[in-house]
C-alpha cells in the first residue's frame, strides 16, 4: 500500500481553492451541489483510509480488527505493519466517529425539538412564534416535495411537513414586501432541501478538518441559492437585498448550523449576499473554461477527489490481496 493509504488524508487540500472561487463564479445551485459532493467523497475516502491504517498498524497486536479467518500468526506477519501509524489512526478514527455522531445527534435533537414546539400551532407552511427575539429559519420535513396549495404558482413544501418558522420580532422589523421576500427565501430552502447539503459538509468537516473551508463555502452558496430563488419569485432583487440586510442587523441566529436561516448575523457573508443581489442575476449554468481560475480550481479539486478515491481503492485491494494470498486454505 505504501504512501497511497496516506494520500486521502491530505488530498482534500486540492479542494480548497475551489471553495472561494466557486462561490464567486459559479451559479449558487451548481456551487452548492459541487462543493457538497466533493466534501462527501473526500471525507468518505479519508475515513476509509483511517480504518485501513488501523488494520495495517495493529495487524500484529492482540485484539486487532482482522476477521477470525485471518487470525493465523503467519497471516498477521504478512500484513504491512506500522504500529505508530496504527495507534494514531485509532485515536483519529475514534475522534471522527465521536464528532460525526455528536453533529448528527445535535441536528436530530434540534429538529425534533423544533417540531415538538410547533405541534400546538395551527397547521400550514408558515409558523409564527410569539417571540421578541428576531429569527427565521426553514424547518425541513421528511417527506418528498409536492406543490403546496395556497402558496402561489410553483410553491413547494416538503410533504406538507416542512415549516417556515419566523418570530413576531422578525416580522416587526420588515415591511410587507420584505416579509414576502423572507417567505420566498425560506420556501426555497425547503424546496431545495438545503439542510441536506449543510449537514453533509458539516459531517465531512468533522471527518477531516481540511474540509472546513468547504463547509463555510456551502453555508454561503446555499443562502445565495435561496436569495436568487426569492428574487426570481418576487421579481424584486433590491427588496430581497434590503430584507436580508435588515434581518442581519437584528438576527440572533438559528438553532443549528444545519438548518437554513434567513440572515445569520455574521459580518462576512451578508454584505456579499447583498452586493450580489444588487448586481445582475447569475448567468445560466455553464461549466467554466479550464483556462479560467475557477476552471483550474474545479479540475484540481476533481483530480484530487479522483486521486483520493483511487488511493483508497488501491489500499483496500492491496490489503485484500495480501490477506487472501497469506490466508491458509
Enter the pTM of the model.
0.81
Q: What pLDDT score does 158 carry?
A: 39
Q: What pLDDT score does 297 carry?
A: 82
Q: Along the chain (329 residues), what's the average pLDDT of each consecutive run of 10 residues?
A: 74 85 85 92 90 74 57 58 73 92 90 80 82 86 48 40 85 91 92 92 93 91 92 92 86 69 65 89 71 78 82 74 59
Q: What pLDDT score does 208 carry?
A: 92
Q: What pLDDT score does 81 carry?
A: 58
Q: What pLDDT score does 161 carry?
A: 63
Q: At 237, which helix (H) or strand (E)?
A: helix 237-250
- Every domain of the chain and the residues it spans: 2-326
* The three grid cell numbers given for residue 19, joined into one nine-digit string: 471553495
* The three grid cell numbers given for residue 259, joined into one nine-digit string: 438548518
Q: Which long-range contacts (CB under 8 A, 24 or more apart) does 7-10 make?
A: 7/49, 7/307, 7/308, 7/311, 8/42, 8/45, 8/46, 8/48, 8/49, 8/308, 8/311, 8/312, 9/46, 9/49, 9/50, 9/208, 10/210
Q: What pLDDT score does 200 carry?
A: 94
Q: What pLDDT score does 100 carry?
A: 93
Q: Is 47 helix (H, G, I), strand (E, B) or coil?
A: helix
DSSP assignment of 238-259 equals HHHHHHHHHHHHH----S-TTS
Contact assessment for residue 159 and residue 143, using Cβ atoms and an 8 Å cutoff: yes
Amino acid at each position: 500500500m505504501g504512501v497511497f493509504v496516506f494520500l486521502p488524508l491530505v488530498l482534500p487540500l486540492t479542494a480548497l481553492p475551489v471553495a472561494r472561487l466557486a462561490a464567486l463564479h459559479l451559479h449558487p445551485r451548481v456551487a452548492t451541489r459541487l462543493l457538497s459532493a466533493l466534501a462527501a467523497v473526500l471525507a468518505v475516502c479519508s475515513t476509509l483510509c483511517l480504518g485501513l491504517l488501523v488494520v495495517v498498524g495493529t495487524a500484529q497486536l492482540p485484539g486487532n480488527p482482522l476477521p477470525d479467518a485471518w487470525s493465523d500468526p503467519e497471516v498477521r506477519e504478512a500484513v504491512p505493519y506500522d504500529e505508530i501509524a496504527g495507534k494514531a489512526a485509532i485515536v483519529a478514527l475514534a475522534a471522527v466517529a465521536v464528532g460525526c455522531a455528536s453533529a448528527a445527534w445535535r441536528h436530530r435533537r434540534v429538529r425534533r425539538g423544533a417540531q415538538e414546539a410547533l405541534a400546538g400551532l395551527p397547521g400550514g407552511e408558515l409558523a409564527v412564534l410569539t417571540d421578541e427575539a428576531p429569527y427565521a429559519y426553514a424547518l425541513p420535513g421528511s417527506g418528498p416535495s409536492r406543490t403546496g396549495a395556497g402558496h402561489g404558482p410553483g410553491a413547494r413544501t416538503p410533504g406538507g411537513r416542512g415549516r417556515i418558522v419566523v418570530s413576531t420580532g422578525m416580522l416587526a422589523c420588515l415591511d410587507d414586501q420584505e416579509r414576502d421576500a423572507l417567505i420566498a427565501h425560506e420556501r426555497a430552502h425547503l424546496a431545495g432541501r438545503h439542510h441536506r447539503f449543510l449537514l453533509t459538509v458539516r459531517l465531512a468537516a468533522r471527518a477531516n478538518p481540511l474540509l472546513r473551508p468547504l463547509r463555510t463555502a456551502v453555508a454561503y452558496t446555499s443562502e445565495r441559492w435561496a436569495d436568487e430563488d426569492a428574487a426570481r419569485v418576487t421579481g424584486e432583487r433590491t427588496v430581497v437585498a434590503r430584507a436580508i440586510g435588515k434581518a442581519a442587523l437584528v438576527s440572533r441566529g438559528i438553532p443549528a448550523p444545519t438548518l437554513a436561516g434567513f440572515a445569520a448575523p455574521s459580518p462576512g457573508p451578508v454584505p456579499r449576499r447583498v452586493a450580489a443581489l444588487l448586481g445582475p442575476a447569475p448567468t445560466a449554468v455553464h461549466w467554466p473554461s479550464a483556462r479560467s481560475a475557477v476552471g483550474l480550481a474545479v479540475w484540481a479539486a476533481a483530480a484530487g477527489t479522483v486521486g483520493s478515491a483511487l488511493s483508497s481503492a488501491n489500499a483496500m485491494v492491496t490489503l485484500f490481496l495480501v490477506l487472501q494470498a497469506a490466508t491458509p486454505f
